[in-house]
Homo-oligomer: A and B are copies of this chain.
């Protein structure tokens, strides 16, 4: 086992993005649970690790704390390059970054936004982080419409390619999977029966051992 520690929460879709990445690389990294139910993310000890009070965060041997999913991914990819999940050539690296970001901006973030702006338990906490913001019901509705567009656009994309960023499984698939699963679980928005490309891709990524991470 490396001496790295990943602070996470089992129900956090962002933490799952890192756990799947770690599983794909077959790394042995200690998981430290942060209890969001008792708001442990706002404790002084966790705020010393991530002042934005969000999971996940990766703590290195020297105590350096890295938060934000793409930043943690970048560290792990640099330190453990194989198998590559962020691309290998300059062009591939850029295309994975592009498709992963589209999956995040058009899919993952709208799902999170719809949930945070509508769930009763998150009143006054419409954005994760240190500052408190009220929910905006109209935003939740707009986000749900965006999620529907995301599913349809991704289905079209997957008519042309095996995986989200092209021929190889990558971080873009991880973000898309986390978005689709959380939309299904928290918004009751599942893949449509006619979205055959998306269904084919979903079955393929769910068959990978990392999907249970």
Contact = CB atoms under 8 A, between A and B. Distances in A.
Interface of A: 52, 60, 64, 66-68, 70-72, 74-75, 78-79, 90-91, 93-95, 97-98, 101-102, 106, 126-127, 129, 131, 133-134, 136, 138-139, 142, 145-146, 149
Contacts of A145: 133
B101 A75 contact: no
A78 B90 CA distance: 6
Contact of A94 (B75, B131, B142): B75
Contacts of A129: 106
B68 A98 contact: yes
Chain A contact residues: helix, strand, loop or mixed: helix
A74 B93 contact: yes
Contact of A133 (B64, B127, B142): B142
A101 to B, nearest CB: 5
A74 B73 CA distance: 14
A204 to B, nearest CB: 23
B95 A66 contact: yes
Given A133-B145, A136-B142, A142-B133, A93 B75 contact: yes
